[in-house]
Amino acid sequence: MRIGFIGLSSQGGSKARKIVAAGYATTLWARRPASLESFADTGATLACSPILTGAASATDTTATAYPTEELL
């Protein structure tokens, strides 16, 4: 299963870490590039846009974790 994860703040980051640690092929995107730094050596693919997180990486499912609807 390939998983895309958008939003890596405190809530999203911990969920994405568990998915990556479980061995799933994971593509990540974050609004703040600094949020991606801790995933650099995890084997996760880092996307350059939210669209590429799901569409171009051919994920089976994509999850989002954003604090407010305005950010979507």
We find that the CATH architecture of domain 2-65 is: 3-Layer(aba) Sandwich (3.40)
Query: β-strands 25-29, 45-46: how paired?
Result: parallel
Beta bridge partners of 29: 6
- Find the mean pLDDT for residues 66-70: 61
Within 8 A by CB and 6+ apart from 53, the residues are 4, 5, 6, 27, 28, 29, 47, 59, 62
Q: How many residues does the chain have?
A: 72
- 59, 1 Cβ separation under 8 angstroms: no
Residue-wise pLDDT tens digits, 10-34: 788 999 999 999 999 999 999 888 9
Between 64 and 24, the more confident residue is 24
Between 55 and 16, the more confident residue is 16
Between 54 and 47, the more confident residue is 47
Q: Residue 70's pLDDT is what? A: 59
Q: What is the pTM of this model?
A: 0.81
